[in-house]
């Protein structure tokens, strides 16, 4: 049975959700293939068509990443419902994203402080040289 897994967002009239047109299918195929309807991606034994400007290999990487994350979660939990596994994977990925974002923002803040300090030192040096 195909699952739509839209994480609460309702699909528009053309079947897209937040700009990502996903349409499940029951036909078994390789992980990624491009046709007139988009790029076919198989995630957790479900096939989706993805249309957009993204590179096919990048879409394949995303699909493989999500498939692996869902399978890892399914292996660690007793959850068998695909939607529950997808939501747990989404929460896991969102947590990872926000941790990385927080580290990035902290490093950016420290870098900005260093640049400001160097700029002040340079201004002081140039004023003394004149």
What string of pLDDT tens digits covers the 130 residues of the chain? Answer: 333 333 333 344 444 444 444 444 444 334 555 666 889 999 999 999 998 888 999 999 999 999 999 999 999 998 889 999 999 999 999 999 999 999 999 999 999 999 999 999 999 999 988 7
Q: Note whether residue 49 is domain-resident.
A: yes
pLDDT of the residue at 54: 87
Q: How far apart are alpha carbons 38 and 52 in whole angstroms?
A: 8
In a domain, 110, yes or no: yes
Q: Considering the entire predicted model, what is its pTM?
A: 0.63
Kind and range of the H or E element at 74? helix 56-76
1 inside domain: no
Residue 90 counted as domain residue: yes
Is 5 within a domain? no
Q: Is residue 2 part of a domain?
A: no
> What is the C-alpha to C-alpha distance for residues 111 and 118, in angstroms, rounded to an integer?
10
Examine residue 88 and state whether it is found in any structural domain, yes or no.
yes
Give the range of the structural domain holding residue 102, as residue numbers without chain letter: 16-129
Q: What is the pLDDT of residue 7?
A: 37
Q: Based on the structure, what is the number of domains in the chain?
A: 1
Please report whether residue 82 resides in a domain. yes
Q: Where are the beta strands (DSSP E) in the chain?
A: 16-17, 20-25, 32-35, 38-43, 46-50
Count the helix, strand and coil residues of the chain and give each as a percent rounded to the nearest 5.
Answer: 55, 20, 30
Residue 108 has what pLDDT? 98
């Amino acid at each position: 049975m195909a699952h739509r897994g839209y994480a609460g967002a309702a699909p528009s009239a053309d079947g897209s959700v937040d700009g990502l047109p996903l349409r499940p299918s029951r036909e078994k195929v390789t992980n990624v293939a491009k046709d007139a309807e988009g790029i076919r991606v198989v995630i957790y034994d479900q096939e989706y068509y993805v249309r957009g400007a993204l590179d096919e290999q990048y879409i394949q990487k995303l699909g493989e990443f999500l498939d692996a994350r869902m399978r890892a979660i399914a292996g660690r939990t007793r959850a068998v419902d695909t939607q529950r596994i997808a939501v747990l994977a989404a929460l896991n990925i969102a947590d990872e994203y926000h941790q990385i974002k927080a580290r990035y923002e902290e490093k950016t803040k420290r870098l900005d402080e260093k640049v400001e300090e160097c700029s002040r030192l340079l201004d002081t040096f140039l004023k003394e040289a004149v």
